[in-house]
Amino acid sequence: MTDLDVRAATEPGGDPEEELRSLMRWLHEDEGLHRQVRGTLTASRGPQPGEMGLGFDLLQLALGTAVSGGSLAVSIFQWRDARRRAPELTLRAGEIEIRIPRDAAGDPETVRRIAALLDEAREPGGDDRTA
């Protein structure tokens, strides 16, 4: 299993927790991924003194060995294309971090590049480049 952390940055007034819940539902409903991807929403930090509590701002995915970076990247871009206002996403696997801006196109070259980085992050001793 490989762990992948996903963060969503929304426009003002947006709800990162709802975006991450939506993405988690999407991945679970994807016939090619649903048995190989498990997700948990969590807070990236504990509450500070005076705070009542935090919302969930981090989706932690556990990816089975049969999941390819390509199928995951395609599913994420399909989810983004279905959103009225796509959030910016940051994916992190080990030392590799991939930022997908709000206006990023889901063109074949972008999907291929992200898929390659995700696959590389899953390899033992993968490169620590960031994108």
* Domain span at 64: 2-45+55-122
Is the residue at 118 inside a domain?
Answer: yes
Predicted confidence at residue 107, as pLDDT, reads 79
Report pTM: 0.81
Domain count, the chain: 1
Cα separation of 97 and 5, whole Å?
A: 9
Tell me the CA distances in angstroms from 17 to 57, 73, 85, 109, one per residue in order.
Answer: 6, 20, 14, 29
Answer whether 93's CB lies under 8 Å from 3's CB.
yes
Predicted confidence at residue 104, as pLDDT, reads 83
Q: Which residue has the higher pLDDT, 123 or 83?
A: 83
pLDDT in tens, 49-104: 666 656 678 999 998 888 888 899 999 999 999 998 889 999 988 888 889 998 88
Is the residue at 90 inside a domain?
Answer: yes
Q: What CATH number corresponds to the domain at position 68?
A: 3.30.70
